[in-house]
Amino acid sequence: MDRTTVTEEITSSILDDKYYKIRHKSGLTIYVYPKDGFKSTYALFGAKYGSINTTFKKENGEQITVPDGIAHYLEHKLFESEDGDAFVKYAKTGASANAYTSFDKTCYLFSCADNFEKSMQILLEFVQDPYFTDETVQKEQGIIGQEIRMYDDDPNWRVMFNLLGIMYHNHPVKIDIAGTVESIAEITPQKLYDCYNGFYNLHNMALTVVGGKAQPESIIAMADKYLKNAPEKDVQSTFPAEPETVVKDYVEQKFPVTVPLFHLGFKENVQKERLTDKEMAESEILLFAMASGSSALYRTLEEQELINNTFDYEHFEGPCYSSVFFGGESKNPKKAAEIIRAYVDNLLVTGVSEKDFEVAKRAVYGADIFSFNRNESIAGILMDCDFSGRELFHYPECIKNTTLDDVNRRLHQQFNSKHSALSVILPLDNV
């Protein structure tokens, strides 16, 4: 069926700013955020497809499971085509280009001050032009195998994935994004094409453009010129049922480090695919109140010399999973975890105080507003919003409208010490 391009202007009274959401006739959703006075422009072209999408139903109804790490492998291979490497082409335009694969998305990007349209042409064309052969696929196995071994030797990477491994029974978020040397050996051109044809459909993708050259009329003209109309496909990922419990509550590994590392995770019982803007805002305020540098928990850990300036926290969230992590370097990880768990248990009784809530809310609101000064930040958040069903300008409104009752309700949803686990990296005996 013939489609037309529809442009919607989305405004924010809080920011006194706007961006454009374009439903392009090809099937692609495009977000254009003009930044007057900015010399550089940042573009991000992404597919709603990441490392967790290993089991899915094809259009014909056949359910298949592909090797772990194939989304990341596909990202690497897509830069190669019959007429050359995309990075070589970018070198001629002067653009800085890259790509990344996460648990739930794969994105290709560039940033430039000049030659914007040529760089955009390269981006749109190579992502739409897969080229996989037995020879090229096998050649990449050695390169990605080295990358996997590099991550296996990274204690900060291992402390996180060791934690995921004991927190999640079945959800593929527990699997390393790059897979294993053994799993990538199973990748073939046909399996790459199965994944590409399923998920790299323009209806399952988005393009975000932010900066000085981000104007809706010119971006639509480029999309008209370089995008191939795509039939809408229904390729569905399936995830196994996940118990609310953790697999076990402790794991450790030894590495050549001088100071132990720890990650303490609290697993949320998620009954839907994604959290809402409102829930995300509540979580961000809650975690700042609980564990920022001005919090009682931070002061307690610091006074007992159990943490240093590497201590941090994170709300780890995606399709059908949500957890909170606390971690960093610690001379006594088990004691640090004990204090954090006790703090959480006490907070579940007393609730977050009005004072801590107000400080956290102001800080989170200010940080969110400040993030609109960076092209990369805006482009990335727009992509996340599209794939999670959220909206960019709605988030600061959610922060502004969050109440103390909201935060304390969220506290009880996210935290249960019985559903927590600790991952520790210890120094080798001879270090």
User: Are residues 336 and 209 part of one domain?
Assistant: no
- Determine, yes or no, domain membership for 381: yes
Same domain, yes or no: 146 and 278 = no
Domain match, 232 and 255 both: no
Q: DSSP of 71-85, one letter per residue?
A: HHHHHHHHTEETTEE
- Element (DSSP H or E) covering residue 287: helix 277-291
* pLDDT at site 60: 77
What are the structure tokens assigned to 305, written together? Answer: 């010399």
Q: Does one domain contain both 170 and 267? A: no
Answer yes or no: do 120 and 268 share one domain: no
Q: Domain check: are 288 and 415 in the same one?
A: yes
**For the chain, what percent of residues have pLDDT higher than 90?**
87
DSSP H helices, 128-188, are 134-152, 155-167, 181-184
pLDDT band at 82 (very low <50, low <70, confident <90, very high): confident
- Looking at residue 111, what is its pLDDT? 97
Q: Which residues contact 220 (CB under 8 A, 6 or more apart)?
A: 5, 7, 22, 24, 30
Q: What is the DSSP string of 34-98?
A: E-TT---EEEEEEES--TT--EEE-TTS-EEE--TTHHHHHHHHHTEETTEEHHHHHHHHT-EEE
| H helix intervals, 168-253 | 181-184, 189-199, 216-226
| C-alpha span between 399 and 358 (Å, rounded) | 11
Same domain, 85 and 173: yes
Q: Is the model more confident about 239 or about 209? A: 209
Q: Choose one of 237, 266, 285: the last residue of a domain.
A: 237
pLDDT at residue number 211: 96
Do 160 and 199 lie in one domain? The reply is yes
**Per the domain annotation, does 242 fall within a domain?**
no
Residue 245 lies in a domain: no
Residue 399 within any structural domain of the chain: yes
The per-residue pLDDT for 175 is: 95
> Do the Cβ atoms of 242 and 170 come closer than 8 Å?
yes
291 with 375, same domain: the answer is yes
**Rounded CA gap, 304 and 307, in Å?**
8
Q: Is 244 among the domain residues?
A: no
Residue in 9, 59, 62, 75 annotated catalytic: 75
Q: Per-residue confidence at 237, pLDDT binned at 50, 70, 90?
A: confident
**Is 1 a domain residue?**
no
254 and 365 co-located in one domain: yes
If asked whether residues 233 and 264 sit together in one domain, one would say no
Beta-bridged to residue 254, according to DSSP, are: 426
Mean pLDDT of the chain: 94
pLDDT at 74: 96
- Mean pLDDT value of segment 244-258: 96
Q: Would residue 76 count as lying in a domain?
A: yes
Residue type, 217: E
* Residue 38 CB-density burial (10 A; 0-12 exposed, 13-18 middle, 19+ buried): middle
- 376-404 pLDDT, tens digit per residue, is 999 999 999 999 999 999 999 999 999 99
List of residues 6+ apart from 7 with CB closer than 8 A: 20, 21, 22, 23, 216, 220
Write the pLDDT tens digit of every residue in 354-369.
999 999 999 999 999 9
Span 32-51, mean pLDDT?
96
According to the model, what pLDDT value does residue 431 have? 45
Domain boundary residue, one of 237, 258, 275: 237
Residue that is last in its domain, among 237, 267, 294: 237
pLDDT band at 127 (very low <50, low <70, confident <90, very high): very high
What is the structure's pLDDT at 2? 60
Q: What range defines the domain where residue 10 resides?
A: 6-237
Q: How many CB atoms lie within 10 A of CB 308?
A: 13
Residue 75: active-site member: yes
In a domain, 360, yes or no: yes
Radius of gyration for the alpha carbons in the chain, expressed in angstroms and rounded: 23
Closest CA to 274 of 399, 104, 49: 104
**Whole-structure pTM value:** 0.93
Report the alpha-carbon distance of residue 21 to residue 127 in Å, rounded.
21
Q: Is the pLDDT of residue 61 over 90?
A: no
pLDDT band at 59 (very low <50, low <70, confident <90, very high): confident
Where residue 155 falls among pLDDT bands split at 50, 70, 90? Answer: very high
- Asked if 233 and 269 sit in the same domain, the reply is no
Backbone dihedral angles phi then psi of residue 120, each to the nearest 5 degrees:
-65, -40
Condensed to tens digits (0 to 9), the pLDDT of residues 293-336 reads 999 999 999 999 999 999 999 999 999 999 999 999 999 999 99
Indicate which CATH number applies to the domain containing 78: 3.30.830.10
Tokens for 272? 């839907």
What does the pLDDT read at residue 234? 75
Three-class DSSP category at 3: coil
> Tens of pLDDT along 87-111?
999 999 999 999 999 999 999 999 9
Closest CA to 151 of 171, 185, 176, 184: 176
Structurally, the chain folds into a number of domains equal to: 2
**Predicted confidence (pLDDT) per residue in 263-283, tens digit:** 999 999 988 889 999 999 999
